[in-house]
């Protein structure tokens, strides 16, 4: 569980851009609330606590991600929590850093 909240907009990093990101926020657990009526039902599942959440694919991304463009495929109908997630917020920056660390590539050494 993250120490950050989507409601915390106190320190937005204006250098952060979704255009230079692998949609890492779309790997987080996304609660689907009753008011999120536009979310296609086939993209919704229940987590082990029985709460409705966006389903994720085998790689961990929300099933609504347009994988070709790495952006939301249901943007106009996305859940409220996705609408609240602010680009450059502390939560966003922390998730980007976690993702970068976890996916850091090892550079192979070449013996001469």
Residues that bind ligand SF4 (CB under 6 A): 26, 30, 54, 62, 64-65, 72, 74, 78-79, 82
For residues 21 and 54, which CB has a smaller minimum distance to ligand SF4 in the complex?
54
- What are phi and psi for residue 44, nearest 5 degrees? -110, 140
Distance of closest approach, residue 85 Cβ to ligand SF4, in angstroms: 8
φ, ψ of residue 19 in degrees (nearest 5): -70, -15
Closer CB to ligand SF4, 21 or 62, in the complex = 62
Q: Minimal distance in Å, beta carbon 65 to ligand SF4?
A: 4
Residue with smaller CB distance to ligand SF4, 81 or 90: 81
Please report which helix (H) or strand (E) contains residue 45, including its range. strand 44-46
CA dihedral over 91, 93, 96, 98, signed as positive or negative: negative
Kindly tell me the burial class for residue 82, based on how many C-beta atoms sit within 10 Å of its own C-beta (0-12, 13-18, 19 or more): buried
Beta carbon nearer to ligand SF4, 37 or 105: 37
CB of residue 26 vs ligand SF4: minimum separation in angstroms? 3
């Amino acid at each position: 569980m993250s120490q950050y909240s989507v409601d915390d907009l106190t320190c937005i990093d204006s250098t952060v851009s979704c255009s230079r990101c692998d949609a890492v926020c779309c790997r987080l657990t996304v609660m689907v609330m009753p008011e999120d009526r536009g979310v296609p039902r086939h993209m919704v599942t229940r987590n082990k606590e029985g709460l409705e959440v966006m389903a994720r694919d085998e790689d961990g991304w929300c099933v609504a991600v347009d994988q070709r463009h790495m952006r939301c495929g249901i943007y106009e109908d996305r859940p409220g929590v996705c609408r609240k997630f602010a680009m450059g917020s502390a939560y966003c920056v922390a998730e980007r850093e976690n993702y970068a660390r976890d996916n850091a590539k090892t550079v192979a050494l070449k013996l001469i």
